[in-house]
Structure 1
Amino acid sequence: MFSMIGGLVVLILDIWAIVSIIGSGASTGAKVLWILLILILPIVGFIIWLIAGPKGGRAIA
C-alpha cells in the first residue's frame, strides 16, 4: 500500500518537473537532457533538477 502511494507521489512530482522544464526558458537541448535525466532516474533526477535545473516561466531580459 505505501509503495503504491510513494510511486504515485514520485510520478506526480516527475510530471510536474517535466511540465516546468518544458515551460522554462532553457534551450531545446537542455530541456531534452533534463527530461531524459528525470525519465531515466526519477527520484535522483528530480532532486538534481530541484537544485540545479532550469526555472519555470520566461527568462528575464
Structure 2
Amino acid sequence: MKTLFGLIVLILDIYAIVQVLKSGAKPVEKLLWILVILILPLLGLIIWFFAGPGRK
C-alpha cells in the first residue's frame, strides 16, 4: 500500500514539475517551485496545486 501511494506521489510530482516548466513564470520562480516539489514531495505538490505559477 505504501509503495502504491509513493508511486502516485512520484507521478503527480513529475506532472507538477512538467507543468511548472511549461508555465510562463520567470526562470528563478520555476527553479524555486521545482525545489519545493522535490524537497517536500507531498506538501510541495499540495502547495503547488493551490498556489503554483498561473494560480490566483
The TM-score with structure 1 as length reference comes to 0.87
The count of aligned residue pairs is 54
Q: Which residue of 1 aligns with 2:29?
A: 30
State percent identity of aligned pairs: 57
What do you get for the CA RMSD once the two structures are aligned?
Answer: 0.5
Structure holding more helix per residue: 2
Superimposed CA distance per residue, residues 1-58 of structure 1 (whole angstroms, 9 cap, x where no aligned partner): x000000000000000000000000000000000000000000000000000013xxx
Q: Which residue of 2 aligns with 1:44?
A: 43
Letter in 2 for 1:35: I
Q: Which residue of 2 aligns with 1:59?
A: none
Letter in 1 for 2:35: L
The TM-score with structure 2 as length reference comes to 0.94
Secondary structure of the residue that 2:24 maps to in structure 1?
coil
Alignment of 1:6-21 (within 5 A): 6-21=5-20
> Considering only CA atoms, is the larger Rg found in Structure 1 or Structure 2?
1
| Alpha-carbon distance between aligned partners in 2 of 1:34 and 1:26, rounded to the nearest angstrom | 10
| Alpha-carbon distance between aligned partners in 2 of 1:28 and 1:42, rounded to the nearest angstrom | 20
Unaligned runs of 5+ in 2: none
